[in-house]
Structure 1
Amino acid sequence: MVLLKNVLIITYHFPPMPEIGGIRLYGLAKYLPKYGWNPIILTPTLPGEPDSQFQVIQSSYDDVVALWKRRMGLNTKKSLNEQFGVSKPKDQPSIIDHLTYLPWEVITYPDPMRGWYKHAVKAGGDLLQREQINAILSSSSPVTCHLIAKTLAEKYQIPWIADLRDLWTQNPYFNHCALRKFAEKRLELRILGKASAWVTVSEPLADDLSHLHTHKPVYVITNGFDPEDASFAPPKLTDKFTITYTGVLYNGKRDPSLLFEALENLISDGVLAPDRVEVRFFGSQDSWLFDEIRDANLDGVVKVMGFVPRNQALQRQRESQLLLLLLWNNPQEKGVYTGKIFEYLAAGRPIIALSGPGESVVKDLLNETQAGHYASSLEDLEDILSKYYSEYIRTGAISPTKEDATSKYSHLEMAKKFAGVLDKVQTEASQHPTSVSTCSDSTQKSIR
């Protein structure tokens, strides 16, 4: 019997917490034992019981934002915009956002989850004093996970891998004042500089990391899907020509307006029959979204359902004729894989991606797997929709994607690659026990 090595995984998101960020860590924890590593999860208190197959340590968490709201006599469960009856414009700050900008910059430095730090350090320290831990792996966002990992790795001289699903100060969503940007960049250099190795999800993001941080290896390990999620009896597809989106819209950065314009044109031209088409949004219920639906005369076509549990979201994906992937048209997004695209691959339904930059890893992935299309213009999108609709009218359903083309993006493969990095840093640490955060390899590494 092979004795497994222990890795402490520090993550803020882990199921049953519903955020998409937890899916990567769940898959990693599930399949790492096949490659010689036993995961122990350190996370804040979860909203329900975690999967019993995992050893999960839940620690207390101080919600610094809720504490601030409570001191101001505000409802801790609602946003300030909700409490003051202010509608948030699409992709723009509201007047409330402007008024609270500077206090928010201070309260949430370096992120709103910083109140977890002291509790997690204590819980992690208690674990490290009673169990043999061979490596630490922290995953962001939030970046507080890396602060916790750095403290524990230095104190107990354990090799540490920093997994950046999203970059830190190089993230295109990193939008702060000049003073905070300066302070946080220095913090990033100081914290991540102590890691034994870094992992991120794409080659462009690894390039960005290598430009900011030098003399450390950067490994590329993409997100993936659980192969068990892809093993299901073929579901009955919807009778209508359905296009389904699951997730948030990031205040309009994930912008569906191109789809609405294409649908309005195709219905007006008689290409699509409105009574046979249904677009479903499971997630964000922003006021601007309803306005755009009404302005495009699509009230009877587009349905905004609100958030549903993940198992229901997966079922809605599997039964849909098409799946919609919305991106942000920002050149810095070219290296961003959304976690959603891998859920979509597991669903086996064709994907239409739109509103993204001209060059994108998502575009490359869809071309490689033949799992869908990347629409780069209104005309392109109208052509894609017309062809899919013709197939739907002709056959009654749109053909599924090819499973064999997507298998390399499973969590099983992802865990195998992570295990290889863990083995490497653990071996190097054992050879240089007094310098676990020093690594002689300064090259970028792609694990494919």
Structure 2
Amino acid sequence: MRKVLIIAYPFSRNVIGAVRLRGLAKYLSELSWEPTILTVKSSQNLKFPYRIIEAEADGLLIQWKKKIDKLSGSENNSNINVQQTKSRKSNFDFLLKMGGQFFAYPDLQKYWYEPAVDQGSKLLEKEDFDAIISSSSPVTSHLVANELKKRFKIPWIADFRDLWTQNPYYHYNFLRKFFEQRLEIKTLKNADILTTTTTCFADELKSLHGREDVFPILNGFDPDQTIKNTILSDKLNLTYSGLLYRGKRDPKLLFKALEELDSEKSIELSKFSIDFYSPVENWLMNEVEEYHLENVVNVHGMIPREEVLKKQRESQILLLLSWNNPQEQGIIPGKIYEYLDAGRPILSIGPSEGLVKDLIQSTNTGIHLSGYESVKKVLKMFYDEFEERGKIEYGGIPEEIDKYSQREMAKKFTILLDKIVE
């Protein structure tokens, strides 16, 4: 069995960025590749059926907080009142915001670089590995892989769950982007192959780096985690899980349509339940009040992923919100793979065209909408179906959905791994 070192900062933490990497490690093991994971030390003490090498390092935010606490004397002063605490927190938040623009280069995890290179070098000095895969974000993972490849001449695949400087959510100024893009190009010259999560991302990487060996490998769901025989909600509930962004991933269109349908007496609003497993945001609660949906919308906060998956399977409809912007057309959010596995209809609201729409249509797993009138019309259609049948029927095509499993994802990585070690 061949051996691959996977460099993945978030692997041992329960965050969305770890889902692709854990699935890759799990199913590579079935395909004659033995994974070892180089990751940051975690306090969550999770157990995995493969070797984990942890490199401990504070992130940039922790480093700054320690320095500020030391300078302010708060480390050893227990006689600090509430007002002082609020003031220091406010000052600290301001410093983080301003300093992040200049010092979080290339990312907040920059202090992980040296411990990770050190741990990786110790491992590779003792054992032979056939390949390296690094995955970002954070991009520090690629810097670590680049250094290890230079030292040990091991073939390297650089995987991008999100783009680096081409990311549509990149928020730094043009001067920083200029220097960071030079760093990106210099770093990835040494990679044998680049992979990313969509065809659009692959095209962008090809253009920036002037190379053709860039391959799209989509994310996937874990077929072994599928929960069967769940009981559906007795309400017409729409479930959303994950982060929301005002004006981007924003349910305002949905809220407006529900309020208008209610005012027209086209629906009985009490039959609906809109459930968000998302952080409680002031702007979100203000929108709920604006559209008089306090008795319909429930914001539960974030809950463990296992519970989220269960809630998804119990839902009549799964809600997917995307930014209605051309930049969003080439993005497939990781959430949609959970939704495919849940086996419930998807109501997607976002740009009129794009990869999300194509995926939903090819799998027949739901409806993708863009405009207000279409959202209103479909909500009424769901309401009528629920009144007649007591549930929303699901028409997903199993053979199409199976194409998006983590097992299929790992097979595509295996093809590339075999290619670079031949």
TM-score range, shorter chain: over 0.9
Q: Does 1:302 align with 2:297?
A: yes
1:164-203 equivalences under 5 Å are: 164-203=160-199
Match 1:211 to one of 197, 200, 207: 207
Q: Name the amino acid aligned to 2:323.
A: W
1:357 and 2:351 equivalent?
yes
Is 1:34 the counterpart of 2:30? The answer is yes
**Which 5+ residue runs of structure 1 have no aligned equivalent?**
77-81, 88-94, 428-448
SS at match of 2:265: coil
Instruction: Report the alpha carbon displacement of residue 45 of structure 1 after superposing the two structures with TM.
Output: 1.1
1-structure distance, mates of 2:88, 2:395: 45
CA distance 1:42–1:100, shift in 2 (3 Å): closer
Structure 1 partner of 2:311 = 316
Instruction: Tell me the secondary structure at the aligned position of residue 225 of structure 2.
Output: coil
Cα shift at 1:98: 7.7
Query: In structure 2, do the counterparts of structure 1 residues 46 and 96 end up closer, same or farther at CA, with 3 Å as the change threshold?
Result: closer
Asked if the contact 2:134/2:142 (under 8 Å) is kept, the reply is yes
Cα distance change of structure 1 residues 333 and 148 upon mapping to structure 2, 3 Å threshold? same
- Pick closer, same or farther for the CA change 1:99–1:113 going to 2, 3 Å: closer
Report the CA distance between 1:84 and its aligned residue: 5.9
Residue by residue over 1:306-354, the C-alpha shift from the partner in whole angstroms, topping out at 9 and shown as x without a partner, is 0100000000100010001111122122111111000000000111111
Distance of 1:96 and 1:52 partners within structure 2: 37
Preserved contact between residue 140 and residue 164 of structure 1 (Cα < 8 Å) = yes
Is the counterpart of residue 398 in structure 1 residue 395 in structure 2? no
Is contact 2:352-2:369 (8 Å) kept? no
Q: Does 1:150 align with 2:146?
A: yes
How far is 1:215 from its partner?
A: 2.9
Distance 2:204 2:131 in 1: 25
**Matches of 1:47 and 1:359 in 2, distance apart?**
42
The TM-score with structure 2 as length reference comes to 0.92
Greater RCO between the two (CA within 8 Å, min separation 6)?
1
Equivalent pair of 1:198/1:216 in contact (CA under 8 Å): no
Once residues 407 and 100 of structure 1 are traced to their aligned partners in structure 2, the CA distance between those partners, rounded to angstroms, is: 43
Aligned to 2:412: 417
- Corresponding position of 2:379: 385
Secondary structure of the residue aligned to 2:303 is: coil
* Distance change in 2, residues 1:319/1:42 (3 Å): same
Give the direction of change, closer, same or farther, for the CA distance of 1:9–1:100 in structure 2 (3 Å limit).
closer
Could you list the runs of 5+ residues in structure 2 that have no partner in the other structure?
Answer: 76-84
1:13 paired with 2:7, answer no
* One-letter code aligned to 2:29: P
Q: Distance in 1 between matches of 2:142 and 2:212?
A: 16
Partner residue of 2:56 out of 43, 56, 60: 60
Q: Is 2:364 the counterpart of 1:370?
A: yes
Checking the alignment, whether the CA contact within 8 Å between 1:140 and 1:163 is kept in structure 2 is yes
Letter in 1 for 2:140: T
Match of 1:277 among 265, 272, 279: 272
Alpha carbons 2:61, 2:96 under 8 Å: kept: no
Aligned partners of 1:71, 1:217: CA distance in 2, in Å? 44
Structure 2 partner of 1:434: none
Which moved further from structure 2: 310-319 or 257-266?
257-266
Match of 1:437 in 2: none
In the TM superposition, residue 233 of structure 1 has moved relative to its aligned partner by: 2.1
21 and 124 in structure 1: CA distance in 2 versus 1, 3 angstrom threshold:
same
**Aligned twin of 2:79:** none
SS at match of 1:72: helix
Moved more, 30-39 or 97-106: 97-106
- Amino acid aligned to 2:248: K
